[in-house]
Amino acid sequence: MTQLPSISFTSLSAEPRAGTAVYFAAEGEGVPAHLQKLDAASGGTIAKAIQVSAFKGKRKSVIEILAPYGLPAGRVLIAGAGDLKSLNAREWMDIGGAVRGKMPAKTAQADIFFSGLETLTGEAALAFAFGYGLRSYAFKKYKSKAPAGAEGEPGAQENGGTTPGLTVFSDWGEGLAQAFEKYTAVSEGLYLARDLVNEPANVLTPPEFTGRLRALEAEGLEVEVLDERALKSLGMNALLAVGQGSAQPSSAVILRWDGTARTSSRQRSLVFIGKGVCFDTGGISIKPAQGMEDMKGDMAGAAAVAGAMLALARRKAPVRAAGLVGLVENMPSGTAIRPGDIVTSASGQTIEILNTDAEGRLVLADLLWYAQTHLEPKLIVTLATLTGAILVALGKENAGLFSNDDALASQITEAGLDTGETAWRLPLSKKYNKTIDSKLADMKNIGGRDAGSITAAQFLQRFVNSGTLWAHLDIAGTAMASPATDINHSWGSGYGVRLLDRFCEKFHES
């Protein structure tokens, strides 16, 4: 897995050692009072830099001073914090990412002086360090030479590049280290998800993905694998139909974490289900060549579930949860499913295949049945890069959210707002449901051109039992080919890991 940067915490009285020092300035204060002594030692260099760059301290603005006269640090950065009254933890996280983005790739270590501003808290310092670490991610595994990197581009980590570390100097000193362990756990889950999404499909085949999930047993997760033989015996024919055209065998993997007190009356599980189509050609209904390379990311739902489960295990979350992923490859061949075929799902419901490129819902249909039959769900959340239509509706700023329960939908929405992994709720109704009725089977796997994301969710809802709390996140616009943000410049964003972790922490931990 891509390596996280080293992040440590110490007191303001400790001796700085890094060649790069970072200080903060509030909006509109010129040379901050806490930097005036430093400015005097530099012969007015800081004041001159602020004047020349017209630096106003606006949030996430950063100025860089190289080789400042009279100062021990070879590089000084001053980061704008903006209006202090409106700062919250999420914005401190973004500031951390913005500062990391201004670090040259060859920076080995940075000292951050978290002082001099009113209303500073330990939580703000933790959030800053968290954002710094998230922005440090770079997937350079297949670069034969370590790239030098550019501003905003972290250097290679797995082939000789640097991973700039961070020391946070503050009034809270080393006391923040223990509190930061939670953030480290979530970062590791997010890095795992990003790594999985970024891997090429010739490497991350269903068996390889399965092997990487087996390795999570070392992190405290219970791992169970259902191979093709087991899937056939369970009648999971919808999932198997998607992969039957591929030379790669399909599988389903169950990840379990129980951080609750072990009693005779165990709690039911929060169940997270992820679509894991390791490559999606569209099958016989083959996709256009342009952009098909992006379909290596069609397993981002499974990656998010894996990352979230790792985060729960690493921080020993007091919750009982299960992650369930279906790992398949959708290929055209003489054994592939065809338009017009009818398959019988594990639930017994029959599905007429009109388009083999609407395959993710077939995988999730059987996983929903398995979860309700075998995993004692308290609730179920499905995550999938399910439809291109969700990009038409919401672009890349929000995932599409569907749910049969208002309270569950509100919890997911709130967790999304807390983390910045936002979701927008879309409707479900009987009128939309009628569009997937089939004359030959119980349902067809597409509902026509209109409301494609909604009809896909309606399809999934047919496999949710009455009384089961369920929500679905369509993450096709947010999980891959992601727009650059303050905390991510990676093609795979890892969307869903922080949202699910926050959802557990805020609403479901004992």
Rounded to 5 degrees, φ, ψ at 176 are -80, -15
123, containing H or E segment: helix 122-135
Closest CA to 158 of 185, 112, 198, 127: 198
Q: Residue 496: left (phi > 0), alpha (psi -120 to 50), or beta?
A: left
Here the tokens at position 23 are: 């200080």
Angle between helices 360-374 and 452-461 (to 10 degrees): 30
Q: What angle do CA 207, 344, 255 make, to 5 degrees?
A: 35
Q: Report the relative pairing of strands 470-474 and 399-403 from DSSP bridges.
A: antiparallel
Question: Which residues 6+ apart lie within 8 Å of 415 measured at CB?
Answer: 421, 499, 500, 502, 503, 506, 507
Under 8 Å between Cβ of 216 and 310: yes
Rounded Cα distance between 94 and 160, Å, is 27
176, containing H or E segment: helix 176-198
Under 8 Å between Cβ of 346 and 368: no
Question: Which residues 6+ apart lie within 8 Å of 230 measured at CB?
Answer: none
Rounded to 5 degrees, φ, ψ at 146 are -65, 120
Under 8 Å between Cβ of 176 and 169: no
Rounded Cα distance between 87 and 365, Å, is 43
Which residues are catalytically annotated? 287, 361
Closest CA to 365 of 328, 401, 394: 328
Collapse the DSSP code of 342 into the 3-class scheme (helix H, G, I; strand E, B; otherwise coil) and give the result: strand
Rounded Cα distance between 473 and 480, Å, is 14
Under 8 Å between Cβ of 152 and 101: yes
Rounded Cα distance between 74 and 249, Å, is 55
